[in-house]
Structure 1
Amino acid sequence: MKRYWVILMMMLTILGQAPVSGRTLTHPPIPEESSAIEKVAIVVLKEDKDEREIRRMVERDPDLHIRHVYKHAINGFSVKGKQSDLESLLKKEAVSAVSPVNTYYVHFNDNIKLIGGINARGYYDKKNQRLTGKGVKVGVIDTGIDYNHPDLRKSYGGGHDLVDHDKDPMETKAAGGQGTLHGTHVAGIIAANGKIQGVAPEATIIAYRALGPGGSGTTEQVIAAIEQAIKDKVDVLNLSLGNNVNGPDLPISLALNKAVEKGITAVTSSGNSGPNVWTVGSPGTASKAISVGASTPTMKVPFLNIAGRKIRLDLLQGSKDWQFDRSCEIVDGGSGRKEELRNADGKIVLVERGELTFTDKAVNALEAGAKGVIIFNNTKGRFFGNLERGVTIPVAALSKEEGEELRTLAKEGSLFARTYIIEEKDILADFSSRGPVTSTWEIKPDVVAPGVAINSTIPGGYLPLQGTSMAAPHVAGACAILKQANPDWRPDQIKAALMNTAKPLINHEGKPYRTYEQGAGRIQLDKALKTGTIIIPASLQFGKFQEAERLHEHSSYVTIENVSDSNESYSFSLPYKEQGINWEMPMSFQLKPGEKKKVEIKMSVDPTMVKKKIHDGNLLLIAGAEKIRIPFLYVLEEPDYPRVMGFGLGKGDKENMYRYEVYLPGGAEEFGIAMFDSESLRFMGFLDWKRNVGKGQLQQEIPADKLPGPGLYLAKVFAKKAGKEDWIETYLFVKPDGRLEDPEPSGNNKGILNE
């Protein structure tokens, strides 16, 4: 199996009916997995045990082999063995969970000014002392770092390579597309100190190379990196990585929570699978970490005006500005091949995504005399991309729907468009993953930060990139500044200061984003440094209400701490009145400097009068001159979360075997992988099928002889629960020799890598 998954989240309907008219799908007998198959799993223990006790517990089964014993990140160990032996571990009283090893991926200056009003004088604390992150250690778990980069030499403080098991965390320099630059880019946003300046330029970067060639790594490697960071006693830990699994119980999320308990402020990206809800991925689901979504810094966005209609263009990273002083004709350029661009001279070329790289399309158009290129998506929704090298004409992206409409107009007759520019900032990036978190119903992300067109260090130079990977290190750098200003602050205080002072963002329509889309909002570091009040927790979840309960009351508690130098008065404003919901807020009170008070907030709901499945908003605390918003959320009944997510398929650990992984947030009454002929949609059978599957990660090996004959197939991965069925679709190609070709990305989510 490849070391990376292609994550697919397309939720499409096959003609809205059964694949073959008049025919129902019959389920085969449940396949039995061979007990001889070996897997690697993370075993989580209920209580701390030393290595000797763990080995004594496992050595009774000679077919189980301990790989790593974790002492800090989690209470547990990783082990390799047969499926049947791994299952036997679950029967042991000391074992809390046995979870298959997952694969994690990297998520892929004006922006620094945006998060805190920084000017030439820099950041200052309440005592007017300059803040640069000096004395604060920031761990970066990523693809390594080019510590020879002139902008990072001063900041680099050593590290560890958890891929090659040494102390040299240098970025992968392999050729053939396996080289990496992500960790160097992330480190530069945090603490570059040279030609460009990071958020905390004098912080010390400790690099942990947990993701190897191609930018992928396993749960074992990432947890080992967290373990080492705890040993190294870093102050802040950044993880710009993740998968598409929206679950709070994966080992890496648990390990991050443990790191926070050890005093480390953990920051992680929420994922690049937006804009739909329920797309935030692990470890962005970790309850105690700061999960970060992506917003836009100040950008000049081009719009086309076609017969009075406005169409937004998204410039590719590396493109020159899109500026035309007169109307220009748009012509269809097919997929951007040279032979399809004969009519491109002096015009804007509209081409479809696919078959060629973005750069190849742009170069072909340039050579054909085109003035600009618009690439429209070949799957639903918008996309963001990068040019591999500079091209002297502008290149922009468009959604599939808009692109197909323009193509139709261009074919019907001459199509002319005029360009105008609108300046935008503080808009959520479309790709930024949204919450809530399944099972715990928590608000994630917690905050957002700039993650579009972020210029930073890479091996050998500089490059603008985008993704929540770029947003998270802005927050990690901000945490380093806050830690320098307040050395005794705990992680929850640092997290609360950023959330309590964040700026709620407004969408294109002038409406506020939902709390589970932006958390508390975009961070404002300057305000966080000056805040006189901290509220913990900084967001509230009131749980899940069942309709059968006529009236349900729920209480949440917050601790309000006066961190100013003077007495302060506090009072809550009553939330907006909504039918079926009543609130009981605390009475007004005062606190002396350093004093704190725990107060109760009561909420009662009559489910028969409330229609929405998800209800969210903000409570408002008046703290002297400050107005602090506290995001809250509750869900009614079984909300409309995806019943299946995070599907990946690749080669198994043994010859003639394939392995898939999938995450079932609430389990499934029925689960399967149905195969259809790609052209006729004729049902070809099940690759796998099961009933009554428990919630969480499911991993299964499939023998090659279960594959259908050679050809291209549509695979529908489905799960049913509580009367709702969801599915993911992907194409699988079986070669003439019977081998399965690794699937290509489909849909508008191509994993977490977003360079």
Structure 2
Amino acid sequence: MKLLLALILAFQAPRTLIYPPIPKPTQETIAIVLLEKPHTEKEINELIRPFRDVKLRRVFREAITGFSVQGKSQAIARLAGNKQILNISPVTQYRVQTEGSVKIIGGDAVRSIFDQKNQRLTGKGVTVGVIDTGVDYTHPDLKKNYAGGHDLVDNDRDPMETKVLGQATIHGTHVAGIIAANGKIKGVAPEAQIVAYRALGPGGGGTTEQVLAAIEQAIKDKVDIVNLSLGNDINGPDLPISLALNRAVDKGIVAVAASGNSGPNVWTVGSPGTASKAISVGASTPTMEIPSLLIEGSRNRLRIQPMEGSANWALDRSLEIVEGGIGRKTELNQVQGKLVLMKRGTLTFSEKAENARQAGAAAVLIYNNMSGGFMGNLDTQSSIPVGSLSKADGVILQKKIKQGLSARVLVAEERDQLADFSSRGPVTGSWEIKPDIVAPGVAINSTVPGGYLSLQGTSMAAPHVAGACALIKQAHPDWTPEQIKAALMNTAKPLVKTGGADSSKATVTAKTGSYYRTFEQGAGRIQVDEAIKTASLVTPSSIQFGKFSDERDSHKAVLHVENTSERSARYSFTIPNRVDGLSWRFPLSFTLEPHEAKDVMVELRVDPQIFKGKIHDGYLRLQAGARTIQIPYLYVLEEPGYPRVMGFDFAEADKPGQYRYEVYLPGGAEEFGIALFNPEDYRFIGFLDTAVNVKKGLIKQDIPSEQLPAEGTYLVKVFAKKANKEDFIETMIKIGEKVD
């Protein structure tokens, strides 16, 4: 999608937006078709022959059993009536979501461990597929590791990064360097081989079809691990990419996916980080100095997220704070030597920073124009500090500015905190815990075309895990993807919220801090050295008991406990702290001989008359010899309040003059629509699109030019009605105007 041509801004309307009843429902699109059993290409052509407006594009046999088609939406919808077809899903857009961090996860400690061939653990002999924007295989730190690849955008064998001016990409090269750089920078597994799959093209965007084709090719190439530092914000377990990753795992490939950068709210994890069998990765902070703003005469202490390319925030004096609008030069006439607060939007971060620098500002803070915080990158190195604030903190600071207060920047060392931007779970519908684990994803230095750059995001966290998997695979070549995932999760370090608390302490108290929720961090931050040395494995490595619905209900989970060591070991569960209305049943203590395994049952009983929580989660603790294994669990007592409408995106389509939207409905809808309003007086203008009896899943539709309103900015209400309940998103869109 050409996202630069359409802007979506979070917007909270000051009053209810009223629209009339939707009209009765009546264009060409691409869709993924899942089949019940494999078909030859000839059989598929026969299947779609009756539908003149439907054309076959690709056949998938490895990643999924199915094919992609292009044609009129109505014809594709009729195709769904064939009994051989399981599901039809419109394609969606996917986008790209170091030395210090390698040490944190135990990467340096691993170098003293040897594999079965008496070789140091460096990832040697292991192949990692990087499904991304391509890789600059000429980079001196990657030339030794590059083992070929495929371009699924241009359909050739050259997966080089896009070099087109204005749309050049660097993301895949950065990811590859974190995994296996072997030069000035050392990746987690510096001798692993990298196979590049270019599935995201100019500007870092790609489609479901391209990513599926990359997974398909990686399976054919028999890579050991695939890394997908890409995704969307659709929280659903049933999207084609998620299903394809599950299939890849079934075929023996370890699948690693970024959870997304839409935190800190819950229900924000996106596909493919929602894939059940993949390792979904959130982002934590390495050891770093984090600035915060202390407002004089106030208890408010606002956390600053430094932008990549910012000067050091170690300011040793009080600064007057002034408002700078959105950062235009005309708004910065009186900022000499002051800290300037700007609102995000219209201008790029670099333009805002440069305008402030030229006006003599001492520092710049940019606050979000939608809920939550954000991370940003400057195009060039700035000579003044530049950082971001959450919307809430920006509002606080605005109020303090009117009081004429000054502020001082305090810098404190922070380590092993969950990054604000890291997407949280759980997964809608399946109630699975995602992400599974976290890894460093803030201020990660790695390779880019022509040099090195520090970036942040779960895109940087995921390749730490992919590299860790390569080390484990070298040490234990016979382990399955499930065992490798279990080794990382069973030995992870659960992270503790806030200020210097240490989760290694036996007791986490209100004074020392509290654990992040399981659906925020999964099992915790990876410790690859511990994972390689683990003497026991427990699978599955997290438990989702599902949804309790009866008056008095119980759910059971079977855990497979394996002694991977050469010594016998004794195992026993620790009974969780008492909670009224909850009761646990565990097996008695047991002993396993070397390489012996056993299935044990854990039961949770809930009395809904006593326990009133909607979601309950925590960690079960299994004493395995001298080590304690923590197993995340989660259950849902009542249908939680997750969003019934999500992932709305609006942008220019492939054909000139047309626009495209996509939206995900986790539970479907009896009525769905996109209503347009005048943003000035909230007057209803018309419907952009409507539908009735919509199945759950992703909706994607092109809007021809004749159905579009005049160029301009509009307030839209995207709504879904089901069982007399309406959920909606209110947002702003621009039509026909280019936006930076």
Q: Contact conserved, 1:4 with 1:103, CA < 8 A, in 2? A: no
Q: Contact conserved, 1:9 with 1:646, CA < 8 A, in 2? A: no
CA distance in 1, matches of 2:155, 2:721: 43
Name the structure 2 match of 1:750. none
Name the structure 2 match of 1:521. 524
Same amino acid, percent of matched pairs = 60
Name the structure 2 match of 1:429. 419
Name the structure 1 match of 2:261. 272
Q: Contact conserved, 1:9 with 1:729, CA < 8 A, in 2? A: no
CA distance in 2, matches of 1:658, 1:147: 36
TM-aligned CA deviation for residue 160 of structure 1: 0.6
Name the structure 2 match of 1:191. 180
Name the structure 2 match of 1:610. 611
Name the structure 2 match of 1:398. 389
Q: Contact conserved, 1:365 with 1:373, CA < 8 A, in 2? A: yes
| Residue 182 (structure 1) aligned with residue 133 (structure 2) | no
TM-aligned CA deviation for residue 126 of structure 1: 9.1
Q: Residues 120, 719 of structure 1: CA spacing in aligned structure 2 closer, same or farther, 3 A cutoff? A: closer
Matched residue SS, 1:150:
coil
TM-aligned CA deviation for residue 728 of structure 1: 1.9
Q: Residues 123, 721 of structure 1: CA spacing in aligned structure 2 closer, same or farther, 3 A cutoff? A: farther
TM-aligned CA deviation for residue 155 of structure 1: 0.7
TM-aligned CA deviation for residue 235 of structure 1: 0.3
Name the structure 2 match of 1:388. 379
Name the structure 2 match of 1:364. 355
Q: Residues 512, 233 of structure 1: CA spacing in aligned structure 2 closer, same or farther, 3 A cutoff? A: same
Q: Residues 220, 450 of structure 1: CA spacing in aligned structure 2 closer, same or farther, 3 A cutoff? A: same
| Residue 557 (structure 1) aligned with residue 546 (structure 2) | no
| Residue 341 (structure 1) aligned with residue 345 (structure 2) | no
Q: Contact conserved, 1:3 with 1:103, CA < 8 A, in 2? A: no
- Indicate which of 152, 155, 174 corresponds to 2:145: 155
- Indicate which of 457, 461, 472 corresponds to 1:471: 461
Q: Which is worse superposed, 602-611 or 560-569?
A: 602-611
- Indicate which of 327, 331, 351 corresponds to 2:318: 327
| Residue 295 (structure 1) aligned with residue 284 (structure 2) | yes
Amino acid in structure 2 at the alignment position of 1:465 = L
Give deviations 1:43-95, integer Å, cap 9, x for gaps: 11112333343333334545432211111111111122333332233222221
Q: What is the TM-score normalised by the length of structure 2?
A: 0.93
CA distance in 1, matches of 2:35, 2:446: 41
CA distance in 2, matches of 1:594, 1:44: 40
Name the structure 2 match of 1:749. none
CA distance in 1, matches of 2:725, 2:118: 57
Name the structure 2 match of 1:420. 410
CA distance in 2, matches of 1:625, 1:551: 37
Q: How many residues align?
A: 724
TM-aligned CA deviation for residue 3 of structure 1: 7.7
TM-aligned CA deviation for residue 164 of structure 1: 0.9
Output aligned runs, 1:632-651, within 5 Å. Answer: 632-651=633-652
Give deviations 1:135-179, integer Å, cap 9, x for gaps: 000000000000000000011010011111111100000002x11
Q: Contact conserved, 1:573 with 1:619, CA < 8 A, in 2? A: yes
TM-aligned CA deviation for residue 347 of structure 1: 2.6
| Residue 230 (structure 1) aligned with residue 231 (structure 2) | no
Q: Residues 610, 92 of structure 1: CA spacing in aligned structure 2 closer, same or farther, 3 A cutoff? A: same
Give deviations 1:448-475, integer Å, cap 9, x for gaps: 1011110100000000011110000000
Name the structure 2 match of 1:482. 472
Name the structure 2 match of 1:110. 100
Name the structure 2 match of 1:217. 206
TM-aligned CA deviation for residue 723 of structure 1: 5.4
Matched residue SS, 1:608:
coil
Q: Residues 454, 6 of structure 1: CA spacing in aligned structure 2 closer, same or farther, 3 A cutoff? A: farther
- Indicate which of 530, 533, 537 corresponds to 2:533: 530
Q: Contact conserved, 1:7 with 1:647, CA < 8 A, in 2? A: no
CA distance in 2, matches of 1:515, 1:639: 16
Amino acid in structure 2 at the alignment position of 1:218 = T
CA distance in 2, matches of 1:275, 1:427: 12
Give deviations 1:27-48, integer Å, cap 9, x for gaps: 132231xxxx332211111123
> What is the RMSD computed on CA atoms of the aligned residues?
2.2
Amino acid in structure 1 at the alignment position of 2:393 = E
- Unaligned stretches of 5+ residues in structure 2: 500-512
TM-aligned CA deviation for residue 359 of structure 1: 1.9
Matched residue SS, 1:300:
strand
Matched residue SS, 1:733:
strand
CA distance in 2, matches of 1:493, 1:183: 27
Name the structure 2 match of 1:751. none
Q: Residues 167, 329 of structure 1: CA spacing in aligned structure 2 closer, same or farther, 3 A cutoff? A: same
Q: Contact conserved, 1:191 with 1:200, CA < 8 A, in 2? A: yes
- Indicate which of 425, 428, 445 corresponds to 1:455: 445
| Residue 14 (structure 1) aligned with residue 4 (structure 2) | no
TM-aligned CA deviation for residue 555 of structure 1: 1.2
CA distance in 1, matches of 2:435, 2:724: 29
Amino acid in structure 2 at the alignment position of 1:451 = G
Matched residue SS, 2:644:
coil
TM-aligned CA deviation for residue 404 of structure 1: 3.4
- Indicate which of 433, 441, 445 corresponds to 1:443: 433
Q: Residues 363, 62 of structure 1: CA spacing in aligned structure 2 closer, same or farther, 3 A cutoff? A: closer
Amino acid in structure 1 at the alignment position of 2:277 = K
Amino acid in structure 1 at the alignment position of 2:373 = R
CA distance in 2, matches of 1:148, 1:550: 63
Name the structure 1 match of 2:547. 544
Amino acid in structure 2 at the alignment position of 1:157 = A
Matched residue SS, 2:672:
strand
Name the structure 1 match of 2:20. 26
Name the structure 2 match of 1:584. 585
- Indicate which of 32, 36, 60 corresponds to 1:46: 36
CA distance in 2, matches of 1:29, 1:513: 46
TM-aligned CA deviation for residue 383 of structure 1: 1.7
Q: Residues 511, 8 of structure 1: CA spacing in aligned structure 2 closer, same or farther, 3 A cutoff? A: farther
- Unaligned stretches of 5+ residues in structure 1: 735-739, 746-755
Give deviations 1:83-141, integer Å, cap 9, x for gaps: 3332233222221111111111110x211111116259555569975200000000000
CA distance in 1, matches of 2:701, 2:111: 57
Matched residue SS, 1:273:
coil
Q: Which is worse superposed, 209-218 or 369-378?
A: 369-378
Q: Contact conserved, 1:270 with 1:284, CA < 8 A, in 2? A: yes
Q: Residues 5, 251 of structure 1: CA spacing in aligned structure 2 closer, same or farther, 3 A cutoff? A: farther
Q: Residues 76, 567 of structure 1: CA spacing in aligned structure 2 closer, same or farther, 3 A cutoff? A: same
Output aligned runs, 1:621-636, within 5 Å. Answer: 621-636=622-637
CA distance in 1, matches of 2:7, 2:570: 50
| Residue 64 (structure 1) aligned with residue 31 (structure 2) | no
Query: Which contiguous aligned blocks of 4+ residues in structure 1 show a shift greater than 6 angstroms?
Result: 3-7
Name the structure 1 match of 2:237. 248
